Structure 1
């Protein structure tokens, strides 16, 4: 059981860090080569586009550190500063993604999918931070768990997208992934948080 837990933790860290670093490949390859499918955003809404592709990976990279129990216990001030950086990254990246959703050429269903993700991402994170400032730590942890599930959409999108493109084509696959990348994540988070309290107390660990 301990081995399984260690494997899960390793995969969580590896996927978050690997996807975050891979997301910055545009710095070496350029947007047109590395992000051809959404490169038009760099022309039509440059500020929103770069805010999202630069800062969303920052949030993804910082997220595992917030679930590092040893860091929280031994260095609470570091935990708070990482949390602030996580929140600011999501604020700017989320607003950028909302603007991109409104301007997408992928159709109304995809626009609503990515737009809803941006709204829930901003909402869960903002409310979670507000709860922390109120000293309501247990509630803060629950809402930040929801935020983390939505941040992890960056990973699940990249897991699903190649398969969807190969089986359904780019247009249908992109439309479907606009919902599939985050709705199951959020449903899982809700299921996990609504388990009997004696079991969900493991969240703190």
Structure 2
């Protein structure tokens, strides 16, 4: 009973965080970039293609995560799972390449640029490898690599959990942002590796 209850709470939290953060990320469509995303608005002016590819499509990949982890959908609607997987892959590719361009041109400094840049590279790479294994019908390897991909997609959630911390603790935001550029994804990837090595089935039942 306890395990079942914890699984339910985990699944509800996953849906709320992924869909909620995706919707919040699209707030610029209503309020405008300057007023809702002021600290990165310079990207929208200097490199709009990369900026909008990232901020429009990265939330798409995040919102698709719970659907791709939904075992019932995979088991009963395999075609839908594959179609959503393709949409996830396209969203990651476009938003990841856009994110890499933004990282290379950030004003946050070299360390932050490396953090976000490596996130973009690993995000695209793990997704591409995972899709390649699916196309080759190697589903255990597909599952493992998509676990890594999803862990990196969830950096959108952990990033937003970390961003208020400097303000709450009265820390220097610029220095904290440099640390967050790494903290938002490295622990996620490490947790994914632990799960891959410890659990025979990585995708939770829903």
The alignment's TM-score, normalised by the length of structure 2, stands at 0.96
Is the CA contact 2:96–2:120 (under 8 Å) kept in the aligned structure 1? yes
Q: Secondary structure at the match of 1:124?
A: helix
Once superposed, what is the RMSD of the aligned Cα atoms?
A: 1.0
In structure 2, distance between residues paired with 1:135 and 1:200: 18
Corresponding residue number in structure 1 for 2:187? 184
Matched ranges for 1:1-12 at <5 A: 1=2, 2-12=4-14
1:203 counterpart residue number: 203
Rounded to whole Å, the distance in 2 between the matches of 1:165 and 1:126 is: 37
Separation in structure 2 between the aligned mates of residue 44 and residue 147 of structure 1, nearest angstrom: 29
Contact 1:165 1:174 in 2 (8 A): no
* CA distance in structure 2 between the aligned counterparts of 1:185 and 1:204, rounded to whole angstroms: 17
Distance 2:204 2:88 in 1: 19
Distance 1:143 1:202, change over 3 A: closer
Deviation for aligned residue 1:201 = 2.4
Unaligned 5+ segments in structure 1 are none
Higher RCO (CA 8 Å, separation ≥ 6 residues): 2
* Cα deviation, residue 174, structure 1: 1.0
What's the TM-score once normalised by structure 1's chain length?
A: 0.96
Q: Deviations over 1:96-142 (max 9, x none)?
A: 00000000000000000000000000000000001101111110010
- 8 Å contact from structure 2 (residues 19, 62) kept in 1: yes
Pair 1:117 & 2:115 matched: no
- The match for 2:48 is 46
Matches within 5 A, 1:1-205: 1=2, 2-167=4-169, 168-195=171-198, 199-201=199-201, 203=203, 205=205
| Aligned positions, number | 202
Cα distance in 2, alignment partners of residues 44 and 76 from structure 1: 42
Q: For structure 2, which runs of at least 5 residues remain unmatched after alignment?
A: none
